């Protein structure tokens, strides 16, 4: 910024404008004496007026009193003289008084409105002069009854009274000696003061005339004294403007709209200098239509801004516009109290003239260093300057980039930018500004800002915004991608919601189906339990009676075949009862109705008993049955259930072990549990079949390949019973080599919540 400021200060566009305050300060040195005189004149005039008026008023008052006294004295004298004269001419009859009065009146006695009245003792008027005045018959009627004059006569002197007709008058009465007659003299005050009034009017007229003359003299002084001051200021301003080339002095009377220009101002515009003030309308004609100087001045006056600093354009005598920079001061203390704009106008073009090559070069350097493309056109649409960035952006050859090239030629030589977008910005103070983005030939983007200069030219600055544009584009693309992703996400969310709804529907259906299946299973188990119970009763009878027949308890059967049949009936019945018992047990377990009768038992003991049961079958087929491990394994369990488990497992081992095979029963305690492993060397079970076992009614061999008897419930019941105790049952087998079935039983039957024991107990409670 510092660099920029200093460059501006010394550069081509810099205009050294003298501060008007300095000029004023110089002028003010000459002003005090004339200013005091100017201010004294009206004060002296007013003092003179007041004194003269007071003197005149006093003089007129005194004159009035003197005039009145004189009139009274004269009236008294005339009355006395008339009375004495009338004594000499006392007539014999009353009719002769008129004549006697005429003869007795001194000279001028009836002038100035004086009237003489002669009255008898009753007041009846006998004579009057002038004859036409006071036509009443009686003196008292004229003078009024209240006055002392007719009674006191000469002693009353001259009195000022109001007559009966309202007239203000001076009156005196005299007794005519040696008669009973009286002579009265009446003079209206208006008549007595007539002369005085004429004098007073003349005096007042003279005073007014003198005042007017003085006022005129003072006005002339008022006007002439500031003219002298202005003359001094104008002389100084003239000298200054002569000393500063390219400057002109303005004195603008804002109240009257008159503008005084110094001769240099006229010269700079190539106009004929004039000493007369220029009316504003003439100035307005020379102003550029876009530069509203009057509005600016009005604003300064309105907002009370005293400093004026404006640039505007004036028409040169040759027709072109020139830029003028006017700096000045709005004052009321210059000349008279009217507002003045006193200022110095500097012609900007004067400084840009080719006379300052250094400044031009500096400006060119500054323009060259900026990173933007810069171009300046003058008001004739000719190139003033452009930088290399501008040339580069527009592919402009060097010979076209010279100052003075016309706009059309430059544009024709430049590569035309592809204008994509224009952002119009409203002009400020009537100066057009526009901003737009354009793409040039090589694909780069420019942000161009164009602005009209004050002298009617054009300046344009272009900034390379390619990177910004590219990132904008990338941003737009990624925004597009984001939008697509959001759409996809929305779609998949909708699908997920649909799937969720389907799953909910399926879960509901599954729940329903499960309930239905459980109901069906429960119904099946109950049915099996009932039917087994129903079957067992007649079967017991079949078994019992066949045994009785077999043993021929009631005598021989006769034919040996009956004996054989009875044995078969017994064996089949026993087997059937076994199967039914298995079905019944399984049904009970599935229905959750199998209860455990838990007591402390010795597992080894139970195994020993179970081995005794299968021992005969094993011996018949030369199978070695051995027990290994601890002698005593005490746990809390259901004896009958344990025996059923071990009998099932041992009988399976015997059943599926080849002749002369081995069956080993291992008993041990592992981590507080009793472990019983029954290992045979039988036919074994395929891996795929092991998973199927332990499910009710599942047999590895099918109906047709089956070589052994069995319901397929043995393992399932054994496992269910082990689990009822809280234990577990595992089968390990290898086809052709043998099978090991391992039971793990806790030392105390544990009824875990989800174990069959717990289920069985809760079912029992129900
Ligand atoms: P079953 O009463 O039919 O024997 P089980 O549940 O006890 O029913 O046995 C089911 C099937 O498991 C048998 O039919 C047999 O195929 C197989 N199996 C059980 N124990 C053994 C074993 N120790 N060796 C070989 N196969 C066996």
Average pLDDT, the chain: 81
Backbone angles phi, psi at 464, to 5 degrees: -75, 115
Ligand 1 atom with the shortest distance to the CA of 712: 8
Can you give the pLDDT at residue 760? 46
Q: pLDDT tier at 739 (50, 70, 90 boundaries)?
A: very high
Can you give the pLDDT at residue 232? 59
Q: State the distance from the centre of ligand 1 to the C-alpha of 99, rounded, in angstroms.
A: 199
DSSP letters along 192-218, please?
HTHHHHHHHHHHHHHHHHHHHHHHHHH
Q: Is the pLDDT of residue 498 over 60?
A: yes
- Cis peptide bond prior to 475, omega within 30° of 0: no
Q: pLDDT tier at 631 (50, 70, 90 boundaries)?
A: confident
Ligand 1 within 6 A of CB of 714: yes
Percent residues over pLDDT 70 in the chain: 83
Q: CA angle, 627 as apex, 623 and 632 as ends, to 5°? A: 160
How far is residue 474's CA from residue 480's CA, in Å, rounded to a whole number? 10
Q: State the distance from the centre of ligand 1 to the C-alpha of 249, rounded, in angstroms.
A: 131
CB 163 within 8 A of CB 146: no
- Cis peptide bond prior to 301, omega within 30° of 0: no
Nearest-CA residue for ligand 1 atom 1 is 710
CB 684 within 8 A of CB 738: yes
Ligand 1 within 6 A of CB of 711: yes
Beta bridge partners of 435: 423, 449
Chain-centre distance of CA 625, in angstroms?
A: 99
The stretch 376-397 carries a mean pLDDT of 86
* pTM of this structure: 0.38
How far is residue 332's CA from residue 754's CA, in Å, rounded to a whole number? 110
- Dihedral angle sign, alpha carbons of residues 77, 80, 82, 85: negative
How far is residue 661's CA from residue 225's CA, in Å, rounded to a whole number? 157
Nearest-CA residue for ligand 1 atom 3 is 710
Nearest-CA residue for ligand 1 atom 14 is 699
Nearest-CA residue for ligand 1 atom 20 is 652
Ligand 1 atom with the shortest distance to the CA of 653: 23
Ligand 1 within 6 A of CB of 656: yes
Can you give the pLDDT at residue 391? 86
Q: pLDDT tier at 27 (50, 70, 90 boundaries)?
A: very low
**Which of 611, 231, 13, 745 has the alpha carbon at shortest distance from 239?**
231
Angle of helix 560-590 relative to helix 466-551, nearest 10 degrees? 150
Can you give the pLDDT at residue 494? 94
Ligand 1 within 6 A of CB of 712: yes
How far is residue 100's CA from residue 139's CA, in Å, rounded to a whole number? 18
Kindly state the DSSP code that residue 596 receives in the 8-state scheme.
Answer: -
Q: What share of the chain is helix, strand, coil (3-state, %, to 5)?
A: 50, 20, 25
Can you give the pLDDT at residue 570? 92
Nearest-CA residue for ligand 1 atom 2 is 710
Nearest-CA residue for ligand 1 atom 11 is 699
CB 48 within 8 A of CB 214: yes
Q: State the distance from the centre of ligand 1 to the C-alpha of 649, rounded, in angstroms.
A: 8
Ligand 1 within 6 A of CB of 351: no
Ligand 1 within 6 A of CB of 701: yes
Angle of helix 714-724 relative to helix 756-765, nearest 10 degrees? 80
Can you give the pLDDT at residue 234? 61
Taking residue 329's Cβ as centre, other Cβ atoms within 10 Å add up to 18
Entry field: residues in the chain: 766
For β-strands 624-629 and 662-670, DSSP reports them as parallel
Ligand 1 within 6 A of CB of 82: no
Can you give the pLDDT at residue 616? 92
Q: State the distance from the centre of ligand 1 to the C-alpha of 652, rounded, in angstroms.
A: 5
**Which of 373, 378, 376 has the alpha carbon at shortest distance from 394?**
373
Q: pLDDT tier at 351 (50, 70, 90 boundaries)?
A: very low
Ligand 1 within 6 A of CB of 525: no
Q: State the distance from the centre of ligand 1 to the C-alpha of 296, rounded, in angstroms.
A: 117
How far is residue 80's CA from residue 85's CA, in Å, rounded to a whole number? 9
CB 729 within 8 A of CB 719: yes
Ligand 1 within 6 A of CB of 652: yes
How far is residue 184's CA from residue 150's CA, in Å, rounded to a whole number? 8
Ligand 1 within 6 A of CB of 11: no
pLDDT tens for 296-348 read 888 888 888 888 888 888 888 888 888 888 888 888 766 566 788 888 888 76
pLDDT tens for 110-139 read 888 999 999 888 888 889 888 888 888 888
Can you give the pLDDT at residue 487? 94
Identity of the highest mean pLDDT range in 28-37, 127-136, 424-433, 666-675: 666-675
Token digits of residue 449: 């800002």
Ranges 389-393, 627-631, 701-705: which has the least confidence: 701-705
Q: Is the pLDDT of residue 405 over 80?
A: yes
Ligand 1, from 688, 710, 721: best to mutate by most atoms within 8 Å of Cβ?
710
Can you give the pLDDT at residue 516? 92
Kindly state the DSSP code that residue 400 receives in the 8-state scheme.
Answer: G
Chain-centre distance of CA 336, in angstroms?
A: 51
How far is residue 504's CA from residue 624's CA, in Å, rounded to a whole number? 58
Q: pLDDT tier at 422 (50, 70, 90 boundaries)?
A: low
pLDDT tens for 181-232 read 899 999 999 998 998 999 999 989 998 998 888 888 877 776 665 555 555 5
Nearest-CA residue for ligand 1 atom 19 is 652
Ligand 1, from 649, 696, 699: best to mutate by most atoms within 8 Å of Cβ?
699
Ranges 85-89, 421-425, 471-475, 504-508: which has the least confidence: 421-425
How far is residue 614's CA from residue 650's CA, in Å, rounded to a whole number? 7
**Which of 148, 196, 182, 231 has the alpha carbon at shortest distance from 80?**
182
Can you give the pLDDT at residue 238? 64
pLDDT tens for 685-728 read 988 888 777 776 665 555 444 566 677 788 889 999 999 999 99
Kindly state the DSSP code that residue 59 receives in the 8-state scheme.
Answer: H
Can you give the pLDDT at residue 26? 44
How far is residue 604's CA from residue 466's CA, in Å, rounded to a whole number? 94
pLDDT tens for 517-533 read 888 877 887 787 788 77
Ligand 1 within 6 A of CB of 693: yes
Which carries the bigger pLDDT value, residue 167 or residue 218? 167
Ligand 1 within 6 A of CB of 653: yes
pLDDT tens for 551-595 read 888 888 888 888 889 999 998 998 888 888 888 888 788 777 788
Q: State the distance from the centre of ligand 1 to the C-alpha of 573, rounded, in angstroms.
A: 21
Q: Is the pLDDT of residue 618 over 90?
A: yes
């Amino acid at each position: 910024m510092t660099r920029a400021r200093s460059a501006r200060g010394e550069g081509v566009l810099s205009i050294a404008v003298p501060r008007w305050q300095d000029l004023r300060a110089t002028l003010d040195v000459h002003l005090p004496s004339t200013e005091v005189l100017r201010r004294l004149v009206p004060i002296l005039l007013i003092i003179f007026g007041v004194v003269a008026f007071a003197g005149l008023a006093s003089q007129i008052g005194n004159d009035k009193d003197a005039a009145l006294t004189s009139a009274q004295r004269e009236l008294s004298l005339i009355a006395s003289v008339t009375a004495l004269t009338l004594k000499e001419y006392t007539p014999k009859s009353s009719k002769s008084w008129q004549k006697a009065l005429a003869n007795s009146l001194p000279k001028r006695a009836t002038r100035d409105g004086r009237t003489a009245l002669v009255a008898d003792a009753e007041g009846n008027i006998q004579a009057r002069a002038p004859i036409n005045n006071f036509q009443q018959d009686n003196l008292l009627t004229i003078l009024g009854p209240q006055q002392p004059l007719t009674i006191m006569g000469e002693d009353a002197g001259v009195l000022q009274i109001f007559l009966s007709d309202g007239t203000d008058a001076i009156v005196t009465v005299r007794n005519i000696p040696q008669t009973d007659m009286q002579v009265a003299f009446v003079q209206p005050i208006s008549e007595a003061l007539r002369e005085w009034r004429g004098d007073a009017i003349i005096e007042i007229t003279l005073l007014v005339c003198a005042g007017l003359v003085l006022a005129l003299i003072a006005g002339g002084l008022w006007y002439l004294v500031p003219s002298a001051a202005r003359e001094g200021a104008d002389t100084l301003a003239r000298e200054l403007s002569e000393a500063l080339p390219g400057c002109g002095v303005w004195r603008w009377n804002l109240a009257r709209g008159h503008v005084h220009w110094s001769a240099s101002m006229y010269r700079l515009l190539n106009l004929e200098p004039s000493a007369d003030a220029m009316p504003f309308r003439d100035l307005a004609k020379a102003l550029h239509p876009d530069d509203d100087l009057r509005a600016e001045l009005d604003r300064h006056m309105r907002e009370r801004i005293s400093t004026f600093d404006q640039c505007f354009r004036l028409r040169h005598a040759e027709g072109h516009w020139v830029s003028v920079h006017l700096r000045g001061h709005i004052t009321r203390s210059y000349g008279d109290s009217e507002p003045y704009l006193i200022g110095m106008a500097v012609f900007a073009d004067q400084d840009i003239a080719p006379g300052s090559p250094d400044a031009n070069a500096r400006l060119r350097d500054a323009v060259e260093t900026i990173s933007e493309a810069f171009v300046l056109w003058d008001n004739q649409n000719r190139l003033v300057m452009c930088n290399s960035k501008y040339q580069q952006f527009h592919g402009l050859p060097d010979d076209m980039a010279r100052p003075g090239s016309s706009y059309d030629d430059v544009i024709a030589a430049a590569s035309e930018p592809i204008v994509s977008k224009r952002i119009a910005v409203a002009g400020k103070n009537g100066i057009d500004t526009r901003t737009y983005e354009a793409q040039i030939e090589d694909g780069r983007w420019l942000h161009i800002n164009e602005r009209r200069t004050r002298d009617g030219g054009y300046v344009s600055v272009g900034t390379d915004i390619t990177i910004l544009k590219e990132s904008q584009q990338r941003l737009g693309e990624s925004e597009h991608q984001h939008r697509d992703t959001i759409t996809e996400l929305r779609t998949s969310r909708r699908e997920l919601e649909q799937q969720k709804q389907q799953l909910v529907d399926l879960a509901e259906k599954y729940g329903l189906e499960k309930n239905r299946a459980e109901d069906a299973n429960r119904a099946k188990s109950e049915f099996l339990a009932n039917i087994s119970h129903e079957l067992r009763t007649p079967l017991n009878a079949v078994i019992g009676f066949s045994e009785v027949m077999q043993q021929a308890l009631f005598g021989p059967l006769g034919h040996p075949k009956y004996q054989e049949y009875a044995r078969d009936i017994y064996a089949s019945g026993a087997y059937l009862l076994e199967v039914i018992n298995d079905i019944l047990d399984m049904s009970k377990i599935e229905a959750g109705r199998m209860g455990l009768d838990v007591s402390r038992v010795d597992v080894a003991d139970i195994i020993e008993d179970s081995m005794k049961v299968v021992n005969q079958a094993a011996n018949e087929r030369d199978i070695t049955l051995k027990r290994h491990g601890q002698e005593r394994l005490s746990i809390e369990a259901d004896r009958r259930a344990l025996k059923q488990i071990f009998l099932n497992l041992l009988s399976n081992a015997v059943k599926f072990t080849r002749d002369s095979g081995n069956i080993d029963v291992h008993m041990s305690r592992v981590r507080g549990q009793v472990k019983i492993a029954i290992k045979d060397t039988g036919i074994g079970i395929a891996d795929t079949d092991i998973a199927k076992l332990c499910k009710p009614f599942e047999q590895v061999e099918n109906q047709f390949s089956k070589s052994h008897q069995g319901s397929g419930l043995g393992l399932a019941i054994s496992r269910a019973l082990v689990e009822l105790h809280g234990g577990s049952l595992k089968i390990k087998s290898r086809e052709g080599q043998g099978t090991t079935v391992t039971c793990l039983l806790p030392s105390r039957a544990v009824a875990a919540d989800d174990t069959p024991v717990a289920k069985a107990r809760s079912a029992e409670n129900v």
